[in-house]
Amino acid sequence: MRIIREKSGDRNFELAVPEAALLRQALESTAEAYRTNPGELDPMVGNVWYGRAGLREAGIRGEDALHWIEGLHEVRLGREKYAQNWLKKLPAVGQSGVWLLPVNEVDAFLATLNDHRLRRAAEFDLGDGDLEVMALEKARGDKRIALVEIHFLAWIMETVLHQ
Amino acid sequence: MIRGAIDLPEVLPEQKNDLSEAFAKGWRVLVWNDPVNLMSYVVFVFQKVLGFDENKAKKHMLEVHERGQSVVAIETREKSEFLCHRLQEFGLKSTIEANPA
């Protein structure tokens, strides 16, 4: 994969078949999770995207806490619309190709990839040691797939952030 | 009374306390460490949400990374809630608490 920053700030992605497939899969699954009501998510995921930790201590309870969570969900629903557009423009399934990320969508893209990483880590309760690259070699099955996604998206995010 | 002048309501003593509290920067916004968020991403979010320059953003990111948490703002209650919510929108672990006097 190559990510080229244009003068405009737009990012041009050159994606090989597996890279396009992985990015597509991440965006599709996270878009679906965005559409899901917070209370209906896997509790571990709900806790990391819509965590109530700290709300009670800050005196944010009842209706106020609900509004807090609803606000976070609204933001993610906004990102879901971006994700649908990105998916339309990614190379078709089974194909390599180029994909343009407009500069004004970079922030939403980074946050969406980050949300995917948080979600996948929460699904497998991954902590510090689990996220070391060496741990990837020992992981198996779905956990290994999750770790591949987490590291792949990290690479994309680091590249975009450092351009 | 001068024509066009507006009669302002008198502020009662107990209202003055409420107003003072509302405008007092008595709340802290904290960001907590987590194993997933990238350091570069945390720096980006601090710049975007909190308006930090790169050096300040890196300083607070390193505090989070090395000490487990960082106080990134001391603000009014309302502003603290706003900033905390914004940080959570980007996936950071953030809470608010009363600033010890």
What confidence tier does B9 reach under pLDDT thresholds 50, 70, 90?
low
What confidence tier does A23 reach under pLDDT thresholds 50, 70, 90?
very high
pLDDT of residue A128: 80
Q: Are the C-beta atoms of A109 and A82 separated by less than 8 Å?
A: yes
> Quick count: other Cβ atoms within 10 Å of Cβ B97?
15
Which of A58-72, A127-141, A144-158 is predicted least confidently?
A: A127-141
Q: Are the C-beta atoms of A121 and B36 separated by less than 8 Å?
A: yes
- Cα atoms found within 13 Å of the Cα of residue B5, Cβ hemisphere only: 6
How distant, in Å, are the alpha carbons of A122, B37, B39, B61 from that of B34?
A: 11, 6, 10, 11
Q: Residue A25 pLDDT > 70, yes or no?
A: yes
* Chain A residues touching B44 at Cβ < 8 A: 110, 161
Best mutation target, B88, B95, B99, to test chain A (most A CBs within 10 A): B88
What confidence tier does B12 reach under pLDDT thresholds 50, 70, 90?
low
Output the six-digit token pair for A158: 């680091």
β-sheet bridge partners, residue B97: B28
Which of B66, B100, B79 has the alpha carbon at shortest distance from B29?
B79
Q: What is the mean pLDDT of the segment spanning A145-152?
A: 94
Q: Which CATH architecture has domain B30-98?
A: 2-Layer Sandwich (3.30)
Domain residue limits, chain A? 2-161
Q: Are B38 and A158 within 8 A, CB to CB?
A: yes
Output the six-digit token pair for A55: 């709300």
Q: Are A154 and B38 within 8 A, CB to CB?
A: yes
Output the six-digit token pair for A44: 């571990």
A→B contacts (Cβ < 8 Å), by residue, are 48-49, 51, 53-54, 57-58, 60, 68, 71-72, 75, 107, 110-111, 114-115, 117-118, 121, 126-128, 130-131, 150, 154, 157-158, 161-162
Q: d(Cα A57, Cα A65) in Å, to the nearest integer?
A: 11
Q: Residue A129 pLDDT > 90, yes or no?
A: no
How distant, in Å, are the alpha carbons of A35, B67, B72, B90 from that of B48?
A: 25, 22, 13, 10
A-contacting residues of B 15-74, CB under 8 Å?
35-38, 40-41, 44, 48
pLDDT tens for residues A83-121?
999 999 999 999 999 999 999 999 999 999 999 999 999
How distant, in Å, are the alpha carbons of A54, A83, B41, B98 from that of B75?
A: 17, 34, 24, 10
Q: d(Cα B35, Cα A127) in Å, to the nearest integer?
A: 6
Residue A131 CB burial class (10 angstroms; 0-12, 13-18, ≥19):
middle
Is B95 in CB contact (< 8 Å) with chain A?
A: yes
Is B81 in CB contact (< 8 Å) with chain A?
A: yes
pLDDT of residue B20: 67
Q: Are the C-beta atoms of B41 and B61 separated by less than 8 Å?
A: no
pLDDT of residue B17: 60
Domain residue limits, chain B? 30-98
Q: Residue A18 pLDDT > 80, yes or no?
A: yes
pLDDT of residue A127: 86
Tell me what percent of the residues of chain A surpass a pLDDT of 70: 100
